[in-house]
Structure 1
Amino acid sequence: MNNKRKAGSLLLAGALLVGLPFTAVAKGKPAPMKTVEYVALGDSLAAGVTPTGFIDYGYADYLANHFVANKYKLADFDNFGVPGYTSVHLKNDILKSSKIRKEIKEATHVTIDIGANDLLGKLKTDPAHATDAIAAVSVNLETILSTIDKLNPKVKVYVMGYYNPFPYYTKEQQDALLPLLKALNSQIESIAKKNRDTYVSTEAQIAKEYKEYIPNPQDIHLSTTGYKVVAAEFWKVICKKK
């Protein structure tokens, strides 16, 4: 994450504290704040790509704000999400990037969304063998999660399941796509549980208001509201794991 984006995210989160009434902060002896060091890993959804192709705040940024709004001390927030990233890219980063490995070793919380680009790429180039991509995601994600555990056995890891990125497709197209999406999410959930990490489902919540959350029929990315919904789903499971 570049310093400008990182500083902007921390300032946005910090602004939430400034807006609290003085009495809410000053009344009585304040409870000690739990320190959080948050690392986000993943693809364009972590990076915050908008339905018009620009990079703005994604779910990771809004999740960082949840920590601050709930009186955590956000000591560090690094968003390593990269548009177009596949599970191979992320696996290589986890194994080889000294910067990312350092941040993981220091992190208290890690979120991950990865695998959709593997499947989408296969659907474009070799749709008859789309399930091969799902198998590859499973193997790569196992390496990713097991390596994170070795780097930092105490870190809390949350792995996202994908929403349907093509809600505007015809029924015939949906019938072909949805079983693949279900299989991908099933593998992600299985590998997460195997590594004692937490799976975060987003499909049902995004489907409820997909026209609002995925406003551009020609683009798979979420609106600001959609990213906030995903962040809220992460926050729900994080609260359960406190």
Structure 2
Amino acid sequence: MTFLTFALAGSLFSNTALAKEDKVNTYEKIDLVGLGDSITFGFNLGTNNNIPSNYAFPFLIGENANFEVRDLGVPGWTTANLLQAIKYDINFRQSIRHADYITLDIGNNDLLHTLKKSNHLEQLPVKIASMMPKLTGNLNEIIKEIRELSDATIVLYNFYNPFQVNNQPMHKLSNQILSLIINPKIASIADKYKNVKIADAFSAFDEKQATYVRQGDIHPTKDGQTVLANIGKNALGIKK
């Protein structure tokens, strides 16, 4: 199955899940909220994709630190989808209000949609550059909306390269686009806000796609999710 097929498949899913929900008040105790797309959700790591996987990195962070976790990752979501949810969805807004920590990994599907529209590889860098104002504008608004609801520490994940090393020229081209165009913009947005930390997924996955990315897929393996959890913990300053 191709890279683009997974992008289309992800749009079929729109469910969220709670971890260890308090039956009296579902918002009374939330240590960490995971916001994002299928990576946050832990796509393709369980027996089905009906609920977020226990192997998704927010749960791995929570398991290690003994946190209550609410994984609100939704496969197929773009920055525009998440922005709308944070503005208008009461579950998202209340979860953010009660969180001590927030992970944010979004924008991958913005990139996938752009790739889908590019008929020739040589067009891709130009199309990515033209897409970036919308992606960065939405990401900036997402963090701005979060900050109006909460002063929780946010860890913002940059993009890893999902292409296997032997998948050329896409692996090399993706490295160039991510390192020169996309991830520097993500870092510059984080710098604008207090208590927003970067988790460098790009460097953590560097040339290790065979171990950290599922074969024939673009999503992390269990080992890849563990790496995302570890860099998230480090960015959040969680020592447990």
**TM-score of the aligned structures, taking structure 2 as reference length:** 0.78
Q: Which runs of 5+ in 2 are unaligned?
A: 1-15, 23-28, 119-123
The answer to whether the 8 Å contact 2:58/2:69 transfers is no
- Structure-2 residue corresponding to 1:94: 86
- SS of alignment partner, residue 159 of structure 2: coil
State the percentage of identical aligned residues: 25
- SS of alignment partner, residue 206 of structure 2: helix
- Structure-2 residue corresponding to 1:42: 36
Is structure 2 residue 159 aligned with structure 1 residue 167? no
- SS of alignment partner, residue 141 of structure 2: helix
Q: Report the CA distance shift for 1:208/1:179 in structure 2 as closer, same or farther (over 3 A).
A: closer
Q: Which runs of 5+ in 1 are unaligned?
A: 11-34, 69-73
Shift of 1:98: 1.1
Shift of 1:36: 6.0
More divergent stretch after superposition (100-109 vs 170-179) = 170-179
Q: Report the CA distance shift for 1:240/1:63 in structure 2 as closer, same or farther (over 3 A).
A: closer
Structure 2 CA distance for aligned equivalents of residues 53 and 43 of structure 1: 19
The answer to whether the 8 Å contact 1:162/1:181 transfers is yes
- CA RMSD between the two structures: 2.5
- Structure-2 residue corresponding to 1:118: 110
Task: Give the alignment partner of residue 7 of structure 1, picking from 17, 20, 25.
Answer: 20
- SS of alignment partner, residue 231 of structure 1: helix
Shift of 1:240: 7.0
Structure 1 CA distance for aligned equivalents of residues 127 and 83 of structure 2: 22
- SS of alignment partner, residue 237 of structure 2: helix
Larger Rg: 1
More divergent stretch after superposition (183-192 vs 41-50) = 183-192
Structure 1 CA distance for aligned equivalents of residues 140 and 30 of structure 2: 25
Structure 2 CA distance for aligned equivalents of residues 174 and 107 of structure 1: 36
The answer to whether the 8 Å contact 2:39/2:56 transfers is yes
Residues 162-211 of structure 1, C-alpha deviation per residue, up to 9 Å, x if partnerless? Answer: 11011245443334322222221111111111122111101222225321
Residues 116-162 of structure 1, C-alpha deviation per residue, up to 9 Å, x if partnerless? Answer: 1101111111445222222211000110001111111x211110011
Q: Report the CA distance shift for 1:167/1:113 in structure 2 as closer, same or farther (over 3 A).
A: same
Q: Higher helix share goes to which structure?
A: 1
Is structure 2 residue 227 aligned with structure 1 residue 214? no
Structure 1 CA distance for aligned equivalents of residues 160 and 112 of structure 2: 13
Alignment map for 1:78-227 (pairs within 5 Å): 78-126=70-118, 127=124, 128-152=126-150, 154-168=151-165, 170-182=167-179, 183-196=181-194, 197-216=196-215, 218-227=216-225
Q: Report the CA distance shift for 1:116/1:95 in structure 2 as closer, same or farther (over 3 A).
A: same
